[in-house]
Amino acid sequence: MKTIKGPALFLAQFASDDAPFNSLENISRWAASLGYKGVQIPTWDKRLFDLEKAATDIDYCRSIKTMLANNGVEITELSTHLQGQLVAVHPAYDEVFDGFAPAEVQNNPSARQEWAVNQLLLSAKASRNLGLTAHVTFSGALLWPFLYPWPQRPAGLVEEGFAELGRRWLPILDAFDEAGVDVCYEIHPGEDLHDGITFEMFLAQVNNHPRANILYDPSHFLLQQLDYLDFIDRYHDRIRMFHVKDAEFNATGQQGVYGGYQSWVDRAGRFRSLGDGQVDFNGIFSKLSQYNFDGWAVVEWECCLKHPESGAAEGAQFVSKHIINVTDKAFDDFADAETDAEANLRILGLK
């Protein structure tokens, strides 16, 4: 068995114009002061990271790694959540997702998609230049408006949606394969890849591509009322990344999984800081350790109640307490006896 690495922190929710959150050097030093050993970097925030430069300039990558090492952390992975979302966008979401893209491609879905794909290709090169082996993104969605089977979906609609999603992602997956990097889709509501079945449907369209893998985040499964421990049993061979995020689900007579169009604080299902929700992290860390997951445990802070700096400080301690230093011994080794082939035959009554 292998020991999970961590704790690490996803920086996206903390970046701002205010120190110490206004540069990679400052925010990484702050994260290290809380006990974090790694940072996951959003590639869309130029205050922290220049994706284009990282894809073409080895010296820039070396300087980042050196600076982070001097601050006591390392890069766990790069993230293209926002860009990946734009690889596939249903027209119903064009306007609300335009803000994820630069002004020059807004109001132009084809140009926006081309920009997003190029961002992923740059991320493959940047990840390779940084010596990383995994990358996190979203799949995007063409079918999300048709999630509920009413009105009745036309025959073949779902199949064609996944076929097109596969066509868009296959060349990206090939580019990551050339770079030696896994693409880890965060299985997430709002994406066509939002549970185990949809991930399997996608795999079928990309020929079970070896680089098509999973970022495991149990909070999204709890809010869907999906068995997140059984998910690990089923898909552990594709889980390459782990977001440690808590959530709670408290159904009432007024609302359930769909949330009644309420804001996060008023929903039956809502994200919480680590330890404040209902996710069984003892079970999760045990199962991931059982299946030899040796990636990073990355805290993604999202909470509708607690201040982010409090959540970050508590999160580092929470993960550290849950990481299992796996054993290389069996608990009953004291009773072990040396192998004796002759004795085994006698015990079995074969001699």
Supply the pLDDT for residue 333. Answer: 65
Alpha-carbon span 255 to 309, nearest angstrom: 31
Alpha-carbon span 79 to 12, nearest angstrom: 9
* Domain-wise residue ranges, the chain: 5-347
Reported as a single tens digit per residue, the pLDDT across 242-252 is: 999 999 999 99
Radius of gyration of the chain (CA): 22
Reported as a single tens digit per residue, the pLDDT across 69-93 is: 999 999 999 999 999 999 999 999 9
Structure tokens at 284: 């999760």
Q: What's the rounded mean pLDDT across residues 239-266? A: 98
**Three-class SS string for 25-49?**
HHHHHHHHHCCCCEEEEECCCCCCC
Q: Is the pLDDT of residue 57 over 90?
A: yes
Q: What's the rounded mean pLDDT across residues 107-133? A: 98
Q: What's the rounded mean pLDDT across residues 253-262? A: 97
Alpha-carbon span 10 to 303, nearest angstrom: 14
What would the CATH number be for the domain defined by 5-347? 3.20.20.150
Alpha-carbon span 122 to 60, nearest angstrom: 14
